[in-house]
């Protein structure tokens, strides 16, 4: 499967390069092939194991690598925001790099706590919301970089507004992921909330994104919106990566991811 993942990653990179050369049609074809190949790998693992392949960081990164396509369908094709198209292959490529880094178990199984009807909707909601959050952050950074390079001749407000539109879809999914996780926890452990590190950081992440929306809606606080956005994404990275990888932040109840 490493070969398939490497090919998908290469196609995402080719898509970015073709977009920079203004070969939009070829770029879209490469992007489509890459995302479908990532989906095929996920489907293959699901078929082989007979269960959802979301039980390790390797598998979750593969899912994230495929999530750029639904976002593209919603915003670029559905809402006509074609100017943000170059960001989506970047958002698809980054998780696949990590998928190649994390070890792939040849055989895996779901821990007893994961064998619940809540598992798939909870994980999918979070993965799609995290993918959209990555795209939104890339737009925020891209707009700021272009504005700095052009010495103020470029107005980043369009990119910031696009970022807001994407988070407007991603945040409800993130909220569903957190609420479904609480219901799942009550079903498994008899308690909705345990203040486990992953639960705590997911709440911090959710709250910071809420602060971002609050800043965007109130004129006096608008100037702090980008700061809140940056802090929220940093908290998301802590929730998703650091809690799983750093021993001091290790999550006992969520160590299976």
Residues 137 and 83 in one domain: no
Q: Which of 194-198, 232-236, 250-254 has the highest mean pLDDT?
A: 232-236
Residue at which a domain ends, from 59, 84, 106 = 106
Residue at which a domain ends, from 65, 86, 106 = 106
Residues 169 and 49 in one domain: no
Residues 153 and 204 in one domain: yes
Q: Which of 108-112, 152-156, 195-199, 247-251 has the highest mean pLDDT?
A: 195-199
Burial class (CB in 10 A: 0-12, 13-18, 19+), 126: buried
Total domains, the chain: 2
Residue 231 sits in which domain range?
117-257
Residue 47: count of CB within 10 angstroms of its CB? 9
Percentage, residues of the chain above pLDDT 70: 91
CA separation (Å) from 55 to 73, 74, 109, 180?
A: 27, 28, 7, 17
Answer whether residue 26 is part of any domain: yes
4: pLDDT strictly greater than 60: yes
- Secondary structure of 198-240 in the HEC alphabet? HHHHHHHHHHHHHHHHHHHHCHHHHHHHHHHHHHHHHHHHHHH
Lowest mean pLDDT across 25-29, 52-56, 83-87, 203-207? 52-56
Burial class (CB in 10 A: 0-12, 13-18, 19+), 204: middle
State the average pLDDT for the chain: 87
Answer whether residue 37 is part of any domain: yes
φ, ψ dihedrals at 54, nearest 5°: -120, 20
Residues 147 and 88 in one domain: no
User: Is the C-alpha dihedral spanning 237, 240, 242, 245 positive or negative?
Assistant: negative
Q: Are 31 and 66 in contact (CB under 8 A)?
A: no
Higher pLDDT, 255 or 121: 121
Residues 170 and 254 in one domain: yes
pLDDT of residue 215: 95
Tens digits of per-residue pLDDT, 101-149?
Answer: 887 765 556 666 666 778 888 989 999 999 999 999 999 999 988 888 8
Residue 63: count of CB within 10 angstroms of its CB? 25
| pLDDT band per the 50, 70, 90 thresholds, residue 256 | very low
CA separation (Å) from 65 to 52, 87, 185?
A: 16, 13, 27
Q: Which residue has the tokens 């639960």?
A: 199
Q: Which residue has the tokens 């608008």?
A: 222
User: Is the C-alpha dihedral spanning 204, 206, 208, 211 positive or negative?
Assistant: negative
Tens digits of per-residue pLDDT, 25-80?
Answer: 999 999 999 999 999 998 988 888 777 777 788 888 999 999 999 899 999 998 88
Residues 242 and 187 in one domain: yes
Q: Are 75 and 128 in contact (CB under 8 A)?
A: no
Q: Which of 10-14, 80-84, 199-203, 214-218 has the highest mean pLDDT?
A: 10-14
């Amino acid at each position: 499967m490493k070969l398939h993942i490497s090919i998908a990653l290469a196609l995402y990179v080719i898509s970015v390069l073709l977009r920079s050369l203004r070969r939009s049609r070829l770029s879209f074809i490469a992007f489509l092939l890459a995302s479908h190949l990532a989906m095929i790998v996920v489907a293959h693992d699901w078929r082989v194991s007979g269960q959802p392949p979301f039980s390790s960081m390797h598998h979750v990164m593969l899912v994230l690598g495929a999530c750029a396509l639904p976002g593209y369908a919603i915003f670029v094709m559905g809402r006509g925001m074609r100017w943000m198209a170059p960001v989506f292959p970047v958002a698809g490529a980054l998780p696949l790099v990590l998928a190649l880094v994390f070890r792939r178990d040849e055989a895996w199984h779901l821990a007893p706590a994961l064998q619940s009807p809540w598992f798939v909707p909870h994980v999918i909601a979070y993965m799609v919301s995290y993918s959209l959050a990555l795209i939104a952050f890339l737009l925020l950074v891209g707009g700021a970089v272009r504005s700095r390079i052009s010495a103020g001749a470029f107005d980043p407000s369009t990119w910031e507004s696009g970022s807001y539109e994407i988070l407007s879809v991603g945040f409800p999914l993130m909220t569903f992921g957190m609420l479904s996780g609480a219901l799942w926890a009550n079903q498994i452990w008899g308690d909705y909330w345990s203040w486990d590190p992953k639960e705590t950081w997911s709440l911090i992440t959710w709250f910071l994104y809420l602060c971002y929306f609050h800043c965007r809606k109130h004129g006096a606080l608008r100037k702090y919106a980008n700061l809140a956005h940056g802090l929220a994404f940093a908290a998301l990275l802590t929730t998703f990566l650091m809690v799983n990888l750093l021993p001091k932040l290790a999550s006992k109840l969520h160590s299976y991811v």
